[in-house]
Structure 1
Amino acid sequence: MEPAAGSASADGGAFLEFVDYAISMLISSSSDDGYESPGAGPAPARPPWGWAVAQVLKSCRAYSSGVTAAILLSDLHQSWTEQRKSLTAKRKVELTNLLNKRTKRRRLPSTITIDSIHEKNFLSPKSVLEAVVIDVFILPGTKIYMLTLGDMWSTSTIDLYLHRRYYNYIGQNCTLKKGREVVLTGCCLRTAVEGSGRARILPTEYMVILLDEDEDEDAMLLGVQFCTYSFSSMKEEKSRNDVVYSFYARIEKIESLEPFGCTERKQIVLVDTDGGKIKFILWGEQVLLANLFSIGSMLALDNPFIANLVDSNHEESQELCLEYGSATQLYLVPIAQHEEQVLLTPTPVRSQGPRLSCVPVDNMASQVTLSRDLHGSVDFSKYPFRVCVSELHDKMVGVSLFGTVTSACKASTSGTTFYLEIEDITGAVLMKLAFTGHWSLGRVGVGHMVYISGLACTLSVTKTLEVSWCEKESGSLFVNLSLLPALLNSTCLYNLSLLSDLPHSANRTHICRVRLDHIDRNSLKLSLFHNLCGYVVNELSDGLLQCSFCKVACHNGCTHGFQLHLTIADDSEKVFAWCNGQTAVEFLQISPDEYMELPEDERMMYLFTLQNESFTVAIANTNKRGDMSSLSKEALPVWEITRAQKCD
């Protein structure tokens, strides 16, 4: 179902119009920049809609005092150019020949290119390098092996001092040779200085050799060396310490463990071909290896160390686990990246100015190729157009939504799961938010305009669509535009509204120029607010403090702030509204502590002097708020002022 025309201006205002305008500018510039389109067909490459929104918001957060259209377009163009460079198969002929049978797979997070290493003359130990061996040679006058590495995104190569633990894998009939793909991390750079040649990578013991089951040589290695033992045979073996085991298993899960003292730990849950499971534990610096793994890939472990698992209480249990020992060698068979053709359903945009216009659909292909994950879900993080609520369906991941919050609450008094309902022009959807710790999104209230990415959609056993979001998943982002500091100073991202316009488009945040008409002194209160979520902290009957939203104990992490009712006006209308926290301070131009120190009669006089002061405000409709959105048990006005800034 396609949203009705004019949806961008109806629920996103000038912000979404600017995003579409910026995308059209990127398309125009990229069609003449000399790069090949990474997609199929002759159509110019189109930036993913979610990527463009995230980049605009990234710039807004970087320039909290406000951004101009020129700044945003410049940042977007630079980011998109770098993005296209990394996606373009621009490589040497030799590297092309070596990679012409390369299996399609996802690029690992934290992957950097060889070109970027040379440009920045820097390499972080946490970075990942996906490379192919161009050459193997011995450093003249030494017995030190060197690898010349290239990657499919770079025009240059780089030399690596090979760690001695891999010397046994060098040779024509061995696995580490010209044409072999490897992934490595934990690298340090020996930077180039004048007269000493180019930069080189110092030895790292965290390198994994990639295998291809379709290659006879690799298939034979896997069959002969790694298919003898299963996890169950190791558990039953009484003399397991005398046996050199090799295992071949699928990576099911990668997760962090509670540190052992000050030592970081990670575990990789492995499943062998018989369905047996075991945990592969990484300690200390070894956790860098987890950056080289991807869920669904097959891991071949040669001679792992067998130990008893240490649980969260730092006590040794009877459960066996595997560890990365000094003699352990790892091979990886990456999971292939499957793809699916998805029909394009672009959201039409009604332009409200000569600079803004949507790109004609007939210049685009009718469908786009998106990757599928291990469970068959289509990854919409690269989808070129906005996805609306009515378009959500089963087996979607990486989805981005832009809409207005209609309710927010905690799933239970304990745990870290919350429910958030978001509405756009096509409908509303309830989503489950899972946090790694406490709520971390700041204040989110009904009527606030938000952007959220990294959503996943599945069908429950009752055939009900369930939408979820997990904070720790890659690509997860949440931005509350109604509270964005840069919004009021970025004129390219909003159109000014009159207060009389508010009832006609009540489902989005408006920007208005107003004067302070009256402050309701009787409703001006000093309350305790929870720093994490911005909601009022209540005192329970037993004297304990509890957040009204998070439902967590708030002995610390609380700040005193204002709750304020006020009347604002412009030439068209007067509106009764409320605000709190920093927004209330902006109106009152005094801190809570300073205000409370004033004598009673001086407080009244002070408030009177503020009348007719001019402000630029962001104002949202809270009419659909649920119980969890109320700042107190008292009724609140319909309109909330989410941000305010005094006009000069």
Structure 2
Amino acid sequence: MTDHEASAMEVERRHWKPQECSGGEREVAVEEEEDPFLQFIEYAKSVLSPDGNGSGDDPKGPSWRWIASRILKTCIAYSSGVTSAILLSDLFQAQFLSYLLPLITISQLFGGQFPIVVQAWNELNKSGAPKKQSECIFQLKKKHKRAKLPSTVTIDSIYEKKFLSLNSVIEAVIIDTYILPGTNIYMLHLGDFWSSNTIDLYLHRRFYSLADQKNGILKKGREVFLTGCRLRTATGGSGHARLLPTEYLVILLDEDQNDDAMLLLAQFCEDNFSAISLSDVNRGVSYSLRGGIKSITSLEVQGKYGSLQRKQIDLVDHEGVSSKFLLWGEQVLLANLFSVGSTLALDRPFISSSTDCAVETSQECCLEYGTATQLYLVPFVQNEEQVSLALTQNHNKGPKLSRALDPSQGLVVSQVFLPCDSQGSIDFSDYPFRSFVVDLREKMTGISLYGIVSDITSTQEPVLSVKIQDVTGAVWARLHFARSWSLGRLGLGHTIYISGLMCSVGTGKSLELRWVENDVGASFINISCLPALLNSSCLHKLSCLSDLSAEPTGTRVCRVWLDQIEHCHVTVRLSHTSCGYFLDDGSSEDLKCNFCQRKCNAELAQNFHLKITLADESGKLFAWCTGQTAVELLQITPDEFCELPEHEEVLISPLTIFHFMDLTYQEEQIMYPSSLEHETFKVALVSCRKKVEGLVDQDHDTIAWEITRAMKCE
């Protein structure tokens, strides 16, 4: 430690005395209960409550995860700051059409949300489409229980956007089958469960045998999944938008319907995967096979003429024998129509040798989507499982906790129903309350956690482990990135929100959390570094430096000035732009980031490493920062700082410039920080006192505070 650092820390010791804590966990609990971000989520949940009584404990309202994610999404969109009105307006508009419109009350209409109601109502009615759905859709809708596929679009949205991407899915119901007058072209008149509009599809000729007026299966009331569709927009004043033919159509079957059950029994139960013979296939024998979908995986195959996309669908038949159904090139679009747990029936699949397909399997052959193949699907209907709510739903809420324990005090919510997949994993995406670490159990998916980073462990790229701590405990989560680290700077003490976590029991019978960047619903947001944080008074409250606890209890916002500038330390060093961490000494030809374990020769930038004393009326503390935060405090960029005149020549080798720029600043560079003394800033502070071997820069080991955001006060 240098003399300047020791002097500055002594100033901090004399002038800043943290509040006494009677108990570590209790102090953390109090800090979190007063967290303005959490308080605003509870307030928003009470406002959005469908019963209109302001109860934030109603499980029928939007989930805690949905509200938190939507607030943070808005904060990212409005980087200059948000107000409570902006956030509530966005929440109302996002939730209105799907949930609030049928439940809106008179008090909400005339209680301040009238413009939002009018806007949503106009949005719903602007298409001018017929308001009554077909009777066959209405009847099917009564027993419709399956979840929407991830890429599903509605017919109404097709008309509104006048655009349809190839990978979009249409979950349609056939309202009518007819032949275009004067031609032999079959047309399907389609609707869906969510739209008042309908649309016509030119049927691909490979399905004509199934559209026969007498014996065809493609008739009124039949559900189909489509993808790979192209839209033919209306021409002139009288034309209608239509869907051009697509080969990628799957027919849905319902085992509760006698005709469908008989079709499955008669056509798809005689053959099984173990009976397939390549010699019979070569003699022209065709098969009709059926199996449950166990997994869907992607693979890019490198060939002589470039790469080729492949999807592998693992199927298991009723005898427990497995087989692989392969999709190649544009055929991978078909995988958008499948879901794990569904049953896939293949009539006349193309059968090839597993050796020719370069697939490692115990079976000698693989199934493919051939020119004569017809696909039928019995979709997986997601079951629901009853989940008992832990007392952490009312964690540290004082009177609310008493009310939950005392039925006489009001409605007690003890159980909710959550969707459960074919493997028994329960999806907590729509869990009405916040999830805590202590609530985690085996076979939980869609988990969201809000807490602080208490540890980080580097593993092999692109995987990194982060320890997440909240008021109930801490848990390790393994983060799997699509290619490389993409979250920006992440450090100890930072407040984070992460969704899309999966929980399982590992080999040591301990809970393991896993997060995959590209999974549906997966997000990771560093709230401590959020640009909108300091300008959003509804999401923070100002603290005095004397109120801060040295324990890592989240992100605190303070109004401070720069003090003791003579103890300020400014260096400019090379850092990895993806993660913001500084580089250590090493060969200039093979620079590797110790934090994210990635070679970063082409991803380097000069960054400040600033150590400075902050002060307010209550005390002082010594803190460090880097990146844009240091730029805000110093009001100069690293490049501009390095260009300040030097009266003494400094000799620097090219290797030093490339690898580790740590200049000896002379004259104006040394004098520059003194011009900032007593400048006032609003800053976000986190406690980063814990050392993580090999990851946190040694210069930070003796400094307990990091400045994660800074904004100059006028």
TM-score (norm 1): 0.89
Confirm or deny: 8 A CA contact 2:278 2:365 kept in the other structure.
no
Confirm or deny: 8 A CA contact 1:91 1:152 kept in the other structure.
no
SS at structure 2 position matched to 1:401: strand
Gaps of 5+ in 1: 33-42, 352-359
1:565 Cα deviation (Å)?
0.6
Q: 2:681 aligns with which of 615, 621, 625?
A: 615
Deviations 1:202-222 (A, max 9, x none): 222211111122222222222
Using the alignment, how far apart are the partners of 1:8 and 1:194 within structure 2?
66
Using the alignment, how far apart are the partners of 2:182 and 2:609 within structure 1?
76
Q: 1:32-71 maps to which residues of 2 (within 5 A)?
A: 45-71=60-86
1:457 Cα deviation (Å)?
1.7
Q: Structure 2 counterpart of 1:228, which letter? A: E
Q: 1:300-379 maps to which residues of 2 (within 5 A)?
A: 300-308=345-353, 320-344=365-389, 345-347=393-395, 349=397, 362-363=410-411, 365-379=413-427
Using the alignment, how far apart are the partners of 2:159 and 2:571 within structure 1?
58
Q: Structure 1 counterpart of 2:553, which letter? A: N
Deviation larger for 473-482 or 431-440: 431-440
Using the alignment, how far apart are the partners of 2:311 and 2:470 within structure 1?
40
Structure 1 position 635 matched with structure 2 position 684: no
Q: Structure 2 counterpart of 1:133, which letter? A: I
1:521 Cα deviation (Å)?
6.4
Using the alignment, how far apart are the partners of 1:31 and 1:167 within structure 2?
56
Seen in structure 2, the aligned counterparts of structure 1 residues 637 and 44 have a Cα distance that, compared at 3 Å, is closer
1:385 Cα deviation (Å)?
0.8
Structure 1 position 128 matched with structure 2 position 169: yes
Using the alignment, how far apart are the partners of 2:545 and 2:92 within structure 1?
36
Using the alignment, how far apart are the partners of 2:134 and 2:582 within structure 1?
64
Partner of 1:355: none
Partner of 1:141: 182
Confirm or deny: 8 A CA contact 2:568 2:610 kept in the other structure.
no
Q: 1:404 aligns with which of 452, 460, 484?
A: 452
Partner of 2:633: 587
Using the alignment, how far apart are the partners of 1:280 and 1:287 within structure 2?
11
Q: Structure 1 counterpart of 2:286, which letter? A: V
Using the alignment, how far apart are the partners of 1:159 and 1:117 within structure 2?
12
Structure 1 position 16 matched with structure 2 position 64: no
Using the alignment, how far apart are the partners of 1:630 and 1:312 within structure 2?
47
Seen in structure 2, the aligned counterparts of structure 1 residues 333 and 376 have a Cα distance that, compared at 3 Å, is same
Partner of 2:90: 75
Deviation larger for 581-590 or 623-632: 623-632
Q: 1:215 aligns with which of 257, 266, 281?
A: 257
Q: Structure 2 counterpart of 1:525, which letter? A: T
Partner of 1:496: 542
Structure 1 position 245 matched with structure 2 position 287: yes
Confirm or deny: 8 A CA contact 1:5 1:350 kept in the other structure.
no
Partner of 1:380: 428
Question: Percent of aligned pairs with the same residue?
Answer: 51
Seen in structure 2, the aligned counterparts of structure 1 residues 521 and 8 have a Cα distance that, compared at 3 Å, is closer
Confirm or deny: 8 A CA contact 1:5 1:348 kept in the other structure.
no
Q: Structure 2 counterpart of 1:124, which letter? A: S
SS at structure 2 position matched to 1:51: helix
Seen in structure 2, the aligned counterparts of structure 1 residues 77 and 322 have a Cα distance that, compared at 3 Å, is same
Using the alignment, how far apart are the partners of 2:357 and 2:638 within structure 1?
44
SS at structure 2 position matched to 1:80: helix
Partner of 2:612: 566
Bigger radius of gyration: 2
Partner of 1:192: 234
Deviation larger for 373-382 or 95-104: 95-104
1:452 Cα deviation (Å)?
0.6
Using the alignment, how far apart are the partners of 2:700 and 2:600 within structure 1?
22
SS at structure 2 position matched to 1:335: coil
Deviation larger for 236-245 or 482-491: 236-245
Deviations 1:36-87 (A, max 9, x none): xxxxxxx783001101111111111111121222211111111111332899
1:615 Cα deviation (Å)?
1.3
Deviations 1:467-519 (A, max 9, x none): 22222322111111011111112121111111111117741101111111144
1:530 Cα deviation (Å)?
1.4
SS at structure 2 position matched to 1:59: helix
Deviations 1:287-335 (A, max 9, x none): 21111110111111122223355899999x9964332222221111111
1:96 Cα deviation (Å)?
4.9
Using the alignment, how far apart are the partners of 1:50 and 1:274 within structure 2?
41
Using the alignment, how far apart are the partners of 1:636 and 1:303 within structure 2?
70
Q: Structure 2 counterpart of 1:294, which letter? A: S
Structure 1 position 480 matched with structure 2 position 495: no
Confirm or deny: 8 A CA contact 1:305 1:328 kept in the other structure.
yes
1:583 Cα deviation (Å)?
1.1
Structure 1 position 229 matched with structure 2 position 271: yes
Confirm or deny: 8 A CA contact 1:6 1:349 kept in the other structure.
no
Q: 1:183 aligns with which of 210, 225, 230?
A: 225
Confirm or deny: 8 A CA contact 1:416 1:434 kept in the other structure.
yes
Partner of 2:502: 456
Seen in structure 2, the aligned counterparts of structure 1 residues 241 and 450 have a Cα distance that, compared at 3 Å, is farther
Using the alignment, how far apart are the partners of 1:346 and 1:199 within structure 2?
52
Q: Structure 1 counterpart of 2:628, which letter? A: Q
1:155 Cα deviation (Å)?
2.9
Seen in structure 2, the aligned counterparts of structure 1 residues 184 and 647 have a Cα distance that, compared at 3 Å, is same
SS at structure 1 position matched to 2:146: coil
TM-score (norm 2): 0.81
Confirm or deny: 8 A CA contact 2:50 2:60 kept in the other structure.
no
Confirm or deny: 8 A CA contact 2:466 2:479 kept in the other structure.
yes
Confirm or deny: 8 A CA contact 1:8 1:17 kept in the other structure.
no
Using the alignment, how far apart are the partners of 1:556 and 1:392 within structure 2?
41
Confirm or deny: 8 A CA contact 1:445 1:629 kept in the other structure.
no
SS at structure 2 position matched to 1:369: strand
Structure 1 position 110 matched with structure 2 position 125: no
SS at structure 1 position matched to 2:69: helix
Using the alignment, how far apart are the partners of 2:238 and 2:301 within structure 1?
42
Confirm or deny: 8 A CA contact 2:204 2:247 kept in the other structure.
yes
Confirm or deny: 8 A CA contact 1:163 1:205 kept in the other structure.
yes
Structure 1 position 278 matched with structure 2 position 310: no
Using the alignment, how far apart are the partners of 2:395 and 2:700 within structure 1?
40
Deviation larger for 17-26 or 593-602: 593-602
Deviation larger for 577-586 or 550-559: 550-559
Q: 1:434-449 maps to which residues of 2 (within 5 A)?
A: 434-449=480-495
SS at structure 2 position matched to 1:493: coil
Deviations 1:118-175 (A, max 9, x none): 3333322222111211221222333222222222222332222222221110134322
Gaps of 5+ in 2: 1-24, 104-130, 400-407, 647-666
Deviations 1:349-395 (A, max 9, x none): 479xxxxxxxx994574422110012112111001111111111222
RMSD across aligned positions (CA): 3.2
Q: 1:407-418 maps to which residues of 2 (within 5 A)?
A: 407-411=455-459, 414-418=460-464
Q: 2:575 aligns with which of 514, 529, 539?
A: 529
Using the alignment, how far apart are the partners of 2:356 and 2:554 within structure 1?
49
SS at structure 1 position matched to 2:528: helix
Partner of 2:47: 25
Seen in structure 2, the aligned counterparts of structure 1 residues 432 and 22 have a Cα distance that, compared at 3 Å, is same
Seen in structure 2, the aligned counterparts of structure 1 residues 307 and 532 have a Cα distance that, compared at 3 Å, is farther
Deviation larger for 360-369 or 143-152: 360-369
How many residues of Structure 1 are paired with residues of Structure 2 in the alignment?
625
Partner of 2:657: none
Partner of 2:194: 153
Seen in structure 2, the aligned counterparts of structure 1 residues 571 and 76 have a Cα distance that, compared at 3 Å, is same
Seen in structure 2, the aligned counterparts of structure 1 residues 521 and 324 have a Cα distance that, compared at 3 Å, is farther
Using the alignment, how far apart are the partners of 1:78 and 1:623 within structure 2?
42
Confirm or deny: 8 A CA contact 2:28 2:553 kept in the other structure.
no
Partner of 2:204: 163
Using the alignment, how far apart are the partners of 2:693 and 2:357 within structure 1?
38
